[in-house]
Amino acid sequence: MPDVHGEILEALRPHLGPRAEAVLEEGLKRLGKRPAELTPKDGAFLLKGLVFRELQARMRPEEARRVVEGVLARLEGQGGSLEELEGGLKRFGLYVDWPEVARLRALVNRLRQGEDPRLMAEGQALLEALEEKLEEALLRQAKDLAHLEESLERVRHLGGPKVRRLENLVETVRQAHAEGLLAQAEVERARSLALELRKLLESSAVRSPTLPEIVFETQEVEEGPKHPTDVFVTVEEAAELEGELVVDLEALPEEASQRIQALEVEEERRKLEELLARYGQLLGRATVSPLLAEVEALLEAGTPAGEKLRELEAALQEAERNLRAERRARLIQLQEALRTLPLPQKAKVPLEGALRLAEETLAEGGYPDLLPLEEELRRLEEEARRQAQEERRLEEAREGLLRELTGKGEAFRPLAEELRALAKEALAEGLARIQARYAELLKAQGEEAALRAKLAEAGSRLKALRLEAEALGLGAEVEAAEARLAQGELPDLEGLEARLAEARARRRQEALEELSRLQALAERFRGFGGEGVLRALEEEKGKPLPDPAPIARALQALKRRLEAKREELFTRLTAFFQAEARLQGFQSETARRLRPLREVLRSAQEKLPRLGPQGLLQVEKTLGQAEELLRELEKEQEAAKSVLKEIRGADLEALLGVFDQGEKPQDLSPLRLPGVEVLGFLDEALPLPKEALENFRRALDRLNEALGGGRGPAVVLMGERALILAPWKGKGLVALTERSALSAFLQELSR
């Protein structure tokens, strides 16, 4: 990072001397930063505000401006460039629904018309925010991709057009992700299709151990009354059908209904996360917040939100349209108010440009911040009022002084004539000159008492103005007025008060602009402590003279906390991968559930230095889930080791083969589907009670002889698992599977 602090200090020392360090120290406190953390944007903010006011107190305004512009020019080379912004826009231009992209496009269009350091700094900040947002979105996409690949592995055996379509969508997402691009539409279609196929598969697991049947609700397409009709199809046939099939949960046993409901809740939670990420700034709206609370309560209870979630999405879309309409209407009002403002056109030009930029941002799809523009308009309106009041004040002062001079006699008549002849444009300067001569005449005419009274009154007023004047950088003007008082002259205190009011309005405008910049940063810290900063920021905006310094310090504290969290996650990820590597040879359902999370965390570990607050929160949540599964896997491994110790040494090698899928017998590989926990032959060593299995097989043989039928697979359902005994290639096959995998296993067994 360039040494912005040193650059500014070196440039100011010839003009401010030792005072330069004190001024910069005050600026650092306001920004809440250390010298090494100053960016060119921070330097520009200090130069245009605090430093410029300090220089004005020691030299003429035009000289102070030249010094500031010279330092800004030196810092400008350390900032960004239009080419850099155009390159960023080209990269992020694909994501047209992102408000930040819309604002960046408007900024680039404006900067092509001419340089503007302030807009350039805003563009650089937008690029930084977009980089962070893209990394967070890619992390979510990595989770989606892992989920889709795992779902595809579960349903691939069903075959049919829907499975092939899912394969194509997953491949499209995989390629886009490898290129660092988002495939939002493909992810949504793939997740919807994967959910449908998973529901079919879960439903099939609870029926007869022959080819399963599922009840679907359909609607007749012929003319006439429409009513539900029960259609019985196999799960494989259902996968072949086009269109969405809705599983009738009431026709299924409770366990199957609960599993399908859990799948729906998981998908709806993910959709809610997407909505919260996209419409974050609209969540507090009256039409949105009650629905959001209701949806969150339903999902927290494990109940699908269904129609309520769709209502929430519609409410958010409506709130977005309303927000655009409100800001468009307000922009029109601001433009009209500025047009009718009785000020010279030169004074209106900066705000006119800012309003046009806000209009372009809105047209591009962004949300321009109108508060600084409204405050600037109020400042101009106040300036117009001050000018009108100043004109009235000068005329009233002329009339009052004329009355005094007329009543003083012939010695004061020439002064009265000169005052009466003053033109309106020269009244401010001429009035001060005539007041000084009036004070001299009073002294010459022996009216020292009246002069002393006027001087005492002016001294009291100056004393009351001193603190505020020094805070606003007008201390030099107060000192000049005091010097005139010391010489027995009457200073123009009304003019000083008018300049103080103007400086106060300017300081408020600068503070609100800085608060607007800090608000954009605080929004990125939502969920990471940023809510408290945003509340404090809104309170600060309501003060007569806002102070951005406490907000900047709070954000710096959040940044330091963010870096500490990044270090903590890196340490936890390293420990996780080391522990997980020791368990990679152990195969179980828990290991299968852990596999996609592991891939997501590998991707997250690479992105960790580039992730912002929301990204780190995602990583922490995923890592917590993975660590819990890892603990379960460690317990399972310990349990397996204790079983191995009870097995005879001769059977140890055969039993190890059950857990080591890298050494699968080739003839059983087609049956090793997802959800199959134990697979082998009855005459081999299995992690199951062998004597009970033998007794069960003999009982089945006797039953078969009594019935005179042919032997087929026998299935015993035990909770969430199914035990299968089947003759297979002349041997007795034993399998222990999840109930959700039973249909696929029997289908493969029958081939």
| Domains of the chain by residue range | 381-506, 656-749
Closest listed residue to residue 49, CA positions, set 547, 386, 490:
547
Beta bridge partners of 432: none
pLDDT at 461: 80
pLDDT for res 261: 83
pLDDT for 732 equals 83
Question: 243's torsion region: left (phi>0), alpha (psi -120 to 50) or beta?
Answer: left
Cα–Cα distance for residue pair 192/200, rounded to 1 Å: 13
What is the pLDDT, as a whole number, of residue 663? Answer: 42
Burial of residue 217, with CB atoms counted within 10 A of its CB: 0-12 exposed, 13-18 middle, 19 or more buried: middle
What's the number of CA atoms in the CB half-sphere (13 Å) around residue 222? 5
What's the N-to-C CA distance of the chain in angstroms?
67
- The torsion defined by the Cα of 615, 617, 618 and 624, in degrees rounded to 10, comes to 140
pTM over 0.85: no
Interior CA angle at 707 toward 705 and 708, to 5°?
Answer: 60
Q: If we measure between CA atoms, which residue out of 551, 560, 566 comes closest to residue 511? A: 551
- Record: fold of 656-749: Beta-Lactamase (3.30.450)
A 10 A CB-CB count for 10 gives 13
Amino acid occupying residue 421: A
Neighbouring-strand partners of residue 736: 678, 723
Beta pairing partners, 215: 232
Picking from 608, 511, 522, the residue whose alpha carbon sits closest to that of residue 565 is 608
Q: What is the pLDDT of residue 186?
A: 92
pLDDT at 229: 37
Q: How far, in Å, are 89, 148, 321, 503, 738 from residue 102 at the CA level?
A: 9, 31, 16, 34, 50
**DSSP secondary structure of 208-226:** -SSS--EEEEEE--SSS--
Q: Which residues of the chain have pLDDT under 70?
A: 1-2, 60-62, 76-80, 203-253, 409, 442-451, 643-667, 708-710, 751
- How far apart CA 673 and CA 652 sit, in angstroms, is 24
How is 1-70 classified by DSSP, letter by letter?
---HHHHHHHHHHHHHTTHHHHHHHHHHHHHT--GGG--HHHHHHHIIIIIHHHHHTTS-HHHHHHHHHH
